[in-house]
């Protein structure tokens, strides 16, 4: 199901001709590109939306506008709307560029999505203004976190405007201190006496004298809605004795009473129209006609707009409106007060059905659930369950199931099983276990998995349970038994069979994904029986099986079984192309390049990576390949080309940051490198990304050594070894040539220093790492051919100028080579390097 993007949500409300120009507020909004965010906060009815729509209406430049509703508490839905609104005004294909990044619900995937979106906007030449209206309706913590990241890294050509009734969970104080923030609050939004006067005059509202306006100002305290209510009441022929004192101050909650008065002034027919349509988020005249059983909805809405009766035009062609939130809330109260429960239920069901029939399935289900018509909501969820998942709106689905469970509604087993999958995909493992426990209990009491109609979903559940155990580091033997039992029963088909699963949307290593257990791979003898069940049975053509080859290739290489890794990656690449899944074949390309590098064949690595760039169109995968190409240039000592590639592939992803840190080390900027490394390490520790924790900590040790902090270097190396020992990591250590002298020093220190604090790392593990490095071997073996040529001349006593002349290099390039050589040899001077030649 392609997610329905409602135009009414991304269209800026039209400012009424009768609205007064508020120059003093415009002065606050004058263009100041130093302000990243404008925060307009006040209770309902103070004109937050109006002032921004008036402000932007003055310019002949489009604005990306998003009107928030409760259904937008889904990260996928929210950001699809934001990206769509920006795409519309920039006339670019940003939404298409980022489409593939909506496949995952993991926090790291969301972070990458924001980074990619920011990068796309930075490439747009025009200035971009984004308005997010009614942000107080967002309660999803993930969206808040993404918004903070989004705002803090905004490119200079983008500004954000947020309206809210309440405070938002953003670091406002920090942004205020950085002068990023422009704030407009209730005090600024209140009408002044002069503005009240202009308002009444524009409305042709006759007032008796100045004292009356002063009285209105005093009683309303400048509250815009209160003033508008007063004007409507004064002009209403049905209200002859309006009492301004009834306002009793400008507290918004008094609006319910006042709106009742305004409503009473209208004909019964119009009252009924307003009340029945109040449950609609947007007012399409055609939908209103059906819901109210009339044919003049457009005329009614147009007339109400002319009267200024708390209605906003969203679209002119086709015409679409919405009620002011306060007005809609009051009308909905009146709906319950005036009509019977049966009639209210009937109206809601009809409205939801109209939305559903229009294709706005999410809004239809949201309306049914909000009005507690759970049976109708459940029927639609069940019907559209596959489409809901394929459109990525799993967070919304999780919320629906939670609501149904809290209200003790009997939920179909298929929905519960898919809820488990959704919860696991969003890393909500505790909640997933809770649902799984409930399903296990239901199996004991109801034997639901044995019923004919449930066999298909029961098969899915068993597979998911085995995967959950495997992915969460549980008992792999139990997972193997589950799959074996399922195979003995025979797989049962279901409507989910042909739904492709994408396990990796952007990671450069499959081991960093949840299917790769974030680097916590199993010993081969334990994992192989589990993997074998998939490879040699009817599961052999599943995506999960395809990824098993990828994870196996990466883990085998890490354990230094290069030939076996090469065989596995070859099959993984074939599967990746079969499924057209770059999330599988790109990491395998990187691994194949790394194997070339390990075998000192940088030319082949370069050629392979450059050819690989032609296999993908997505920018983020091209950047990933460029980052690896930069790594190759760095190993060759070609710093200029490495810098150029890194500049073209720049991102905040760990892969890029760590390659860039290596570049900084070669440039003798170890302090800057260490800062970048620690940034990656801290984040990886939070996410428990074992493979990246080890890599970053190894580089940390090398940096500390370069800075002359030998003790810190040993501590960092010990930490890396402690993290790597349980999983037998090898290549992450040995692929960093500068770590080998550190490993030797560490082993020597451990043998001579009897300190129990170091015993958390088995000495046998360190010995295993150094097994292939004979003690008599020269450290020079770690140098590339070109570096050995430079070193040979150096050892013969040649000066930098002489080396440059002999090898047709510049002196600057020679100095770079020498810095790399010193780093690899673990020395810090020419004299110490020459000693190694003796």
Together in a domain, 566 and 614: yes
**pLDDT of 245 higher than 80:** no
Domain's final residue, options 601, 631, 661: 631
Between CA 796 and CA 135 the distance in angstroms is: 70
Q: Which of 319-333, 472-486, 561-575 has the highest mean pLDDT?
A: 561-575
What's the pLDDT tens digit per position in 677-735?
A: 999 999 999 988 999 999 999 999 999 999 999 999 999 999 999 999 999 999 999 99
Window from 235-249, 299-313, 601-615 with minimum mean pLDDT: 235-249
Together in a domain, 46 and 158: yes
Q: Greatest CA separation found in the chain?
A: 109
Q: Cβ(679)–Cβ(667) under 8 Å?
A: no
Q: Which of 263-267, 490-494, 666-670 has the highest mean pLDDT?
A: 666-670
Q: Give the total number of structural domains in the chain.
A: 4
**799 domain-assigned:** yes
Domain's final residue, options 573, 601, 631: 631
Together in a domain, 536 and 491: no
* Per-residue confidence (pLDDT) for residue 257, from 0 to 100: 55
* Per-residue confidence (pLDDT) for residue 247, from 0 to 100: 47
**801 domain-assigned:** yes
**pLDDT of 755 higher than 70:** yes
Return the half-sphere exposure (C-beta side, CA atoms, 13 A cut-off) of residue 602: 15
More confident residue, 809 or 382: 382
Average pLDDT value for residue range 525-533: 76
**pLDDT of 774 higher than 70:** no
Which residue is associated with the tokens 């791979």?
Answer: 521
* Per-residue confidence (pLDDT) for residue 253, from 0 to 100: 44
Average pLDDT value for residue range 207-226: 68
* Per-residue confidence (pLDDT) for residue 471, from 0 to 100: 62
Together in a domain, 475 and 576: no
Residues 6+ apart with CB under 8 A from 344: 335, 336, 371
Together in a domain, 461 and 523: no
Together in a domain, 484 and 529: no
Average pLDDT value for residue range 580-588: 94
**222 domain-assigned:** no
* Per-residue confidence (pLDDT) for residue 17, from 0 to 100: 66
**Strands 158-164 and 181-184, sheet pairing:** unpaired
* Per-residue confidence (pLDDT) for residue 351, from 0 to 100: 92
**pLDDT of 365 higher than 70:** yes
Instruction: Identify which of 583, 444, 820 has the alpha carbon closest to the alpha carbon of residue 106.
Output: 583
**524 domain-assigned:** yes
More confident residue, 200 or 282: 282
When computed from its CA atoms, the radius of gyration of the chain, rounded to whole angstroms, is 33
What's the pLDDT tens digit per position in 273-306?
A: 999 999 998 899 999 999 999 999 999 998 888 7
Together in a domain, 104 and 129: yes
Together in a domain, 459 and 549: no
What's the pLDDT tens digit per position in 670-683?
A: 999 999 999 999 99
Instruction: Identify which of 192, 140, 158, 190 has the alpha carbon closest to the alpha carbon of residue 38.
Output: 158
More confident residue, 786 or 237: 786
More confident residue, 326 or 186: 186
Instruction: Identify which of 334, 337, 489, 395 has the alpha carbon closest to the alpha carbon of residue 106.
Output: 395
What's the pLDDT tens digit per position in 611-641?
A: 999 899 899 999 999 999 999 999 988 899 9
Q: How far is CA 578 from CA 163, 390, 546, 695, 774, in A?
A: 47, 20, 10, 32, 43
Confidence tier at 237 by pLDDT (50, 70, 90):
very low
Together in a domain, 602 and 480: no
CATH number of residue 788's parent domain: 1.10.10.10
Q: What burial class does residue 156 get, using C-beta atoms within 10 Å of its C-beta: 0-12 exposed, 13-18 middle, 19+ buried?
A: exposed
CATH number of residue 100's parent domain: 3.40.50.300
Together in a domain, 560 and 486: no
DSSP 511: G
Instruction: Identify which of 306, 628, 796, 356 has the alpha carbon closest to the alpha carbon of residue 365.
Output: 356
Together in a domain, 590 and 611: yes
**316 domain-assigned:** no
Confidence tier at 585 by pLDDT (50, 70, 90):
very high
**514 domain-assigned:** yes
DSSP E strands: which ranges in 346-495? none
**602 domain-assigned:** yes
CATH number of residue 551's parent domain: 1.25.40
Instruction: Identify which of 120, 124, 128 has the alpha carbon closest to the alpha carbon of residue 85.
Output: 128
Q: How far is CA 621 from CA 97, 230, 625, in A?
A: 11, 60, 6
DSSP E strands: which ranges in 311-408? 311-316, 319-323
The count of other CB atoms within 10 Å of the CB of residue 58 is: 11
* Per-residue confidence (pLDDT) for residue 733, from 0 to 100: 95
* Per-residue confidence (pLDDT) for residue 241, from 0 to 100: 42
Domain extent, residue 172, equals: 7-189
Residue 67, classed as helix, strand or coil, is strand
**pTM to 2 decimal places:** 0.78
* Per-residue confidence (pLDDT) for residue 391, from 0 to 100: 84
Average pLDDT value for residue range 582-606: 92
Domain's final residue, options 128, 160, 189: 189
Helices (H) and strands (E) in the chain, counts: 43, 7
Q: Which of 31-40, 226-235, 526-535 has the highest mean pLDDT?
A: 31-40
Together in a domain, 491 and 514: no
**167 domain-assigned:** yes
């Amino acid at each position: 199901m392609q997610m329905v993007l409602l135009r009414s949500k991304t269209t800026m409300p039209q400012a009424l001709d009768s609205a007064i120009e508020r120059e003093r507020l415009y002065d606050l909004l004058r263009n100041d590109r130093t302000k990243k965010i404008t925060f307009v906060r006040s209770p309902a009815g103070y004109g937050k939306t109006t002032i921004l729509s008036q402000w932007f209406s003055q310019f002949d430049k489009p604005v990306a506008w998003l009107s928030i509703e409760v259904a937008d508490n889904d990260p996928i839905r929210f950001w699809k709307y934001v990206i769509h609104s920006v795409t519309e005004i920039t006339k670019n294909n940003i939404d298409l560029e980022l489409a593939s990044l909506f496949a995952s619900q993991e926090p790291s995937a969301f972070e990458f999505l924001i980074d990619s979106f920011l990068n796309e906007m930075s490439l747009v030449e025009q200035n971009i203004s984004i308005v997010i209206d009614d942000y107080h309706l967002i309660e999803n913590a993930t969206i808040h976190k993404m918004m903070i990241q989004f705002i803090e890294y905004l490119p200079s050509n983008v500004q954000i405007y947020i309206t809210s009734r309440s405070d938002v969970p953003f670091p406002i104080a920090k942004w205020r201190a950085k002068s990023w923030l422009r704030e407009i609050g209730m005090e600024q939004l209140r009408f002044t006496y002069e503005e009240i006067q202009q308002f009444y005059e524009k409305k042709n509202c006759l007032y008796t004298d100045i004292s009356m306006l002063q009285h209105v100002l005093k009683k309303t305290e400048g509250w815009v809605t209160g003033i508008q209510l007063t004007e409507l009441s004064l002009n209403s022929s049905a209200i002859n004795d309006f009492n301004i004192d009834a306002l009793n101050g400008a507290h918004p909650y008094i609006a319910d009473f006042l709106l009742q008065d305004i409503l009473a002034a209208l004909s019964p027919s119009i009252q009924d129209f307003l009340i029945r349509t109040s449950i609609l988020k947007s007012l399409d005249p055609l939908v209103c006609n059906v819901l109210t059983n009339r044919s003049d909805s457009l005329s009614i809405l147009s007339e109400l707009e002319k009267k200024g009766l708390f209605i906003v035009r969203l679209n002119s062609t086709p015409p679409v409106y919405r009620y002011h939130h306060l007005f809609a809330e009051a009308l909905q109260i009146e709906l319950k007060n005036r009509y019977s429960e049966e009639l209210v239920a009937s109206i809601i069901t009809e409205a939801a059905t109209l939305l559903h029939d229009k294709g706005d399935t999410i809004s239809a289900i949201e309306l049914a659930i909000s009005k507690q018509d759970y049976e109708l909501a459940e029927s639609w969820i069940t019907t559209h369950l596959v489409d809901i998942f394929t459109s990525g709106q799993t967070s919304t689905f999780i919320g629906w199931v939670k609501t149904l469970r809290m209200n003790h509604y009997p939920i179909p087993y298929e929905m519960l099983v898919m809820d488990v999958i959704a919860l696991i995909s969003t890393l909500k493992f505790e909640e997933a276990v809770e649902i799984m426990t409930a399903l296990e209990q239901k199996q004991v009491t109801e034997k639901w998995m044995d019923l004919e109609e449930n066999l298909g979903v029961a098969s899915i559940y068993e597979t998911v349970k085995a995967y959950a155990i495997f992915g969460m580091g549980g008992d792999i033997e139990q997972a193997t038994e589950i799959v074996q039992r399922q195979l003995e029963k025979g797989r049962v088909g279901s409507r989910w069979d042909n739904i492709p699963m994408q396990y990796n949307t952007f990671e450069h290593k499959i081991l960093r994904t949840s299917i790769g257990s974030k680097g916590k791979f199993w010993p081969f003898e334990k994992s192989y029986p589990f993997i074998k069940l998939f490879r040699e049975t009817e599961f052999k053509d599943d995506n999960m099986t395809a990824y098993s080859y990828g994870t196996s290739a990466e883990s085998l290489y890490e354990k230094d079984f290069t030939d076996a890794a090469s065989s596995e990656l070859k099959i993984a690449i074939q599967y990746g192309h079969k499924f057209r899944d770059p999330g599988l074949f790109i990491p395998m390309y990187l691994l194949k390049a790394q194997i070339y590098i390990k075998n000192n064949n940088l030319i082949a690595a370069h050629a392979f990576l450059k050819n690989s760039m032609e296999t993908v169109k997505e920018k983020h995968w091209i950047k990933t390949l460029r980052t690896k190409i930069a790594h190759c240039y760095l190993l060759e000592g070609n710093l200029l080309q490495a810098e150029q590639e890194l500049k073209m592939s720049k991102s905040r992803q760990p892969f890029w940051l760590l390659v860039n840190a290596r570049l900084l080390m070669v440039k003798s900027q170890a302090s800057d490198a260490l800062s970048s490394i620690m940034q990656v390490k801290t984040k990886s520790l939070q996410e428990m990304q074992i493979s990246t924790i080890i890599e970053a900590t190894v580089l940390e040790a090398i940096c500390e050594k370069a800075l002359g902090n030998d003790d810190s270097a040993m501590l960092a190396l010990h930490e890396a070894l402690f993290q790597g020992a349980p999983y037998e990591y090898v290549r992450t250590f040995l692929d960093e040539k500068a770590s080998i002298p550190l490993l030797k020093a560490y082993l020597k220190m451990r043998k001579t220093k009897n300190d129990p604090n170091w015993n958390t790392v088995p000495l046998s593990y360190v010995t295993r790492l150094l097994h292939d490095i004979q003690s008599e071997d020269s450290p020079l073996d770690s140098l590339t051919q070109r570096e050995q040529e430079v070193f040979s001349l150096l050892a013969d006593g040649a000066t930098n100028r002489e080396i440059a002349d002999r090898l047709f290099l510049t002196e600057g390039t020679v100095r770079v080579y020498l810095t790399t050589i010193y780093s690899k040899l673990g020395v810090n001077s020419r004299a110490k390097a020459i000693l190694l030649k003796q």
